[in-house]
Structure 1
């Protein structure tokens, strides 16, 4: 059993809600110390206190805007600290854009690309330095089944995460570092509410619970899988989407919330 003295440390971005909060909870349950990253300092502190109380681990808070160079630099600096090694990195922070590409503000599209592609790239690069030197480490990039569909720049960004994670896992697994893209489908979190999406666009059977997505993602990462698609239903959805015409693989429309 992991004790407080020999527990490893996990850093989770977007850690105050949804899948990020669930990753933090399950990693704490496994006995990992935590570094929680998000923009909201008050929510971070409340989450850290609850996790320390419930799981007898230590939880460090790191408020940072991961669409901002300064915010990313602060997290990179923490990942590069050799005196306080990070064994697990979970790149979970994400946003969605509801409107079609041509209707979105270009600055919003830049932030979207920054958060989903450039920031995970920079954090993975930083984390790998210590992990490869120690010969051990785990990286999880929270992607989406949208990576296998045609859903605008969100799909494009998530496809990058899948391709990168699959390659990185092949490149570094034999050196002790496992990298996994976790690809959930529609999941009950704050994500769709924040982007103003009408959740009725997807049938009830497609909606997943966050605890199952995280549990299966962590298990697949432990097994050394480059890509994790939680549940048999979504494995089937992805398999079918690969043979469907591009128009049919686009999925339901992203209607605004009612």
Structure 2
């Protein structure tokens, strides 16, 4: 029997609750963009974001964390695990830790996943697979799994020429691990080759890959990428995470696609 409850924030698509952790508690995040309030509830449609748009996270109240931690305790769970989205997007960890201090409960674990959406979903599936382990061992597995997660996305290369913008037939490949790291620049025509090479290189060193594809604003983009990668990697399980939340799309920019690469092997 599971002895721990799960808390996540709303930078993850909530359809995971249809399969696992149906009683997980959600901390709702909100942002101001050009003086308009956006509540990240996974229903907000991505719109085209201009370079001048300003995005500002609204701090989560400590009371919100106290509420969800109490909610999980009321369900009978001795331990509560909060998987926090990367502080790059919004810092919830300080307020969560304050809530833990106020509740004076050492059995609340606040974990910086250094990730978002698909990365957190990967961790939830790892947790579900290991749910019968002792809490100390489970927490160790979570931290080890965080180290195995890589998020790689591709966005169009754009140059500014005064008032004009020119899109080049290039993609910038960028890694996300707590923050963005430029990886390399590739031709669009080489996108599929680049992705396959990245996957196969890791398989050769012993990985058992776990892959989710995602897109900044169009579900169709994610579906196309999933189909193309699967065509050349039929033995690799590839699922479609879908479209990322608004705040993540703001940083990825319109037309971006990517993959979450996890590892089930050693």
TM-score range, shorter chain: 0.3 to 0.5
Give the TM-score normalised by structure 1. Answer: 0.35
Give the TM-score normalised by structure 2. Answer: 0.35
- Greater fraction strand: 2
